[in-house]
Structure 1
Amino acid sequence: MINRLLNELQIIQFFNLQSPQTKAIILNISSIVLFSIMVIFIRKASESLHILEVVFFRNLLALIVMLPIIKSIGLAAIKMNNTRLFFMRGFVGAIGMIAGFTCLTLIPLAQATAISFSQPLFITIGATIFLGEIIKARRIAAIIVGIIGMLIIVQPGFNSLSLGIILAIISALALSVNALIVKKLTLTDTPHAIIIWMVVMLIPITLIPAIPVWEWPSLEAWLYLWGIAILGTLAHFSWTKSYAMADITSLEPIGFIKLPIMALLGWMIFSEIPGTWTWVGGLIIFMSTIYISQREAKASGSHKPNKGAQEPKL
């Protein structure tokens, strides 16, 4: 017991001695690992429970995990100032989460991860259409390259589009719209309100489709469901904290490690072996999104910690 306590204190001391940039990198990698394990739990929970129920319990149990946070900050800190956008975000977020969770049960985890890298591309396009942001030739070229990367993964001319791939693309689109709504909400509402009300609204929205397929979870399923809620909350906290401590352009490249992590976990647990084109397309998409994020940082003239970074999926 004493040895374990000393080891924990050593870890804390080591973490406190690191620079803000190093802390941000450690937190960012931690969030990626936690999200990756959460994805495994989603797949395992869906083996004995309908995926629509998994989505519902992910939100219900996440709210329970967040209750101490709500109690500590007070209700005033989560007041809604833009109700219409909150409800829009709830419905769009539900579509993205349901599609995202379901695709994880239909296609290899590495393929779903590679397709999810396209979100920044959709965000850039959406910001131009809906927010009036101006993009120049270089970023347009990067978007085109990213779309080519997605086509390499999907290969629509050689393979029929499966439901899993379609849902993965729908999830990326919906979560991109969700990120644009969050960007608008940050102008009027607190981060705590944005995060907590999303979970609160998703509970009744995701309960409705879960009712027709309802069955009570087994003990094993409950363990996975609680794991999803706890890991998701911890990952969200780590991710948000990392982007508050360091420049977005220095952290974005780290995100690519999610692909090999998911590929490794998929191979070890589900015997999935990602194809060559998944790696090639994923790398192309990711490099194009890195370029876009760097151009946006230069255009804003800021390399400061990013307070309004895109919220993580799932």
Structure 2
Amino acid sequence: MSGALASFSILAIGARELSGEVSIAQSLFIRSVIGLVFLSGIYFIQSRVKHSKGNRTQTNMTVNQPRAKIIKLHLFRNVFHFIAQYGWFFGIGLLPLAEVFALEFTVPIWTLLIASVFLDEKVTRNKLFAIFFGILGVLVIVQPGYALIDYASIVVLGSAICFALSHSATKSLAKTESPLTILLFMCIVQLPIGFILSLTDWVWPQGQQWLWLSVIGLSALLAHYCLAKTMQYAEVTTVMTLDFFRLPLIALVGVAFYNEAFEVPLLIGGGLMLIGNLIGVRGIAKQKSET
């Protein structure tokens, strides 16, 4: 999960650097192309290694053969994930990074509701306390007012709901699919969507733009690999609670790279999130000891 937090923060920097220069759809399309190229290289190396060892058995790092139901779940996950990313990239270009992440962190609330209904995850007292302290930390950091209630904020809030649907689908897929398989379908499904939507305002990237597109492609790949891997070991509501740590981290990025103000509420909010996560982790340990 630490790898996911760091990778998502790097991804946000790349998205901010390209804002207004390359369209969101085109950025997502090129990200999928980079992901496919990188994954193809991994599978090629694996196949060569297996061939040299004379091993024809399938490992958990190879592509599984998903059933029709699994394919539909991949499609469901990636359509909502694409919509969520589009809204996220849109918000990053218009709002301070900390505010975008704060609005995005309504995701644990939606995820808790969705997971309790469709994944039969228990809504425990520790989870509720963890989410409460996480949201409280968000409110302390961004100190929301009427200025947040605008078009960009509504779009980011809508993307948060789509992220929750996507994360819940990822948790369901992680029961049978390897992280690399989930990533492969992500690139395959989202590539044509991004390409079609980018045709109307396509521009060829120049110079440093290719660098930032590569940063977006590789950091997104690593972030989602770490996230899918985390889903194999923890409930989706627990994972999303840990994701609260991304807000103080990205706020520090805003201070360091974009001269956004560093304020005491950032430290207080981060402390509240830490308390929430400690409560959540304690609840997990208690459940394991009881079983």
Which bracket does the TM-score occupy, shorter chain normalised? Answer: 0.7 to 0.9
Residues 56, 203 of structure 1: 8 Å contact kept: yes
Distance 1:32 1:134 in 2: 25
Q: Does 1:163 align with 2:136?
A: no
What secondary structure is seen at the aligned counterpart in 2 of 1:202? helix
Q: Which amino acid aligns with 1:123?
A: T
Corresponding residue for residue 64 of structure 1:
37
Residues 99, 168 of structure 1: 8 Å contact kept: yes
Q: TM-score, normalised by structure 1?
A: 0.71
Number of residues of Structure 1 aligned to a counterpart in Structure 2: 276
Corresponding residue for residue 204 of structure 1:
192
Residues 180, 225 of structure 2: 8 Å contact kept: no
Corresponding residue for residue 172 of structure 1:
160
Distance 1:97 1:52 in 2: 10
Residues 46, 105 of structure 1: 8 Å contact kept: yes
Q: Calculate percent identity across the aligned residue pairs.
A: 26
2:90 to 87, 94, 102: 102
Corresponding residue for residue 46 of structure 1:
19
Corresponding residue for residue 127 of structure 1:
115
* CA apart distance, 1:264: 3.1
Q: Does 1:182 align with 2:170?
A: yes
* CA apart distance, 1:300: 5.2
What secondary structure is seen at the aligned counterpart in 2 of 1:159? helix
Corresponding residue for residue 36 of structure 1:
9
Q: Which amino acid aligns with 1:101?
A: F
1:209-248 correspondence runs (5 A): 209-237=197-225
1:150–1:166 Cα change, 3 Å: farther
Residues 149, 280 of structure 1: 8 Å contact kept: yes
Distance 1:179 1:298 in 2: 25
Corresponding residue for residue 3 of structure 1:
none
Residues 121, 235 of structure 2: 8 Å contact kept: no
* CA apart distance, 1:108: 0.9
1:80 to 54, 62, 66: 66
1:56–1:276 Cα change, 3 Å: farther
Gaps of 5+ in 2: 48-57
Which whole-Å deviations, capped at 9, do the CAs of 1:173-207 have from their partners, x for residues lacking one?
A: 22221111122223333332222111210111222
Q: Which amino acid aligns with 2:66?
A: M
Residues 35, 231 of structure 1: 8 Å contact kept: yes
Gaps of 5+ in 1: 1-27, 304-314
Distance 1:166 1:279 in 2: 27
Distance 1:173 1:256 in 2: 16
Residues 26, 202 of structure 2: 8 Å contact kept: yes
1:63–1:302 Cα change, 3 Å: farther
* CA apart distance, 1:91: 0.8
Q: Which amino acid aligns with 2:194?
A: T
Which whole-Å deviations, capped at 9, do the CAs of 1:106-129 have from their partners, x for residues lacking one?
A: 111122233444433322221112
CA RMSD of superposed structures (Å):
3.9
* CA apart distance, 1:40: 1.0
Distance 1:87 1:247 in 2: 22
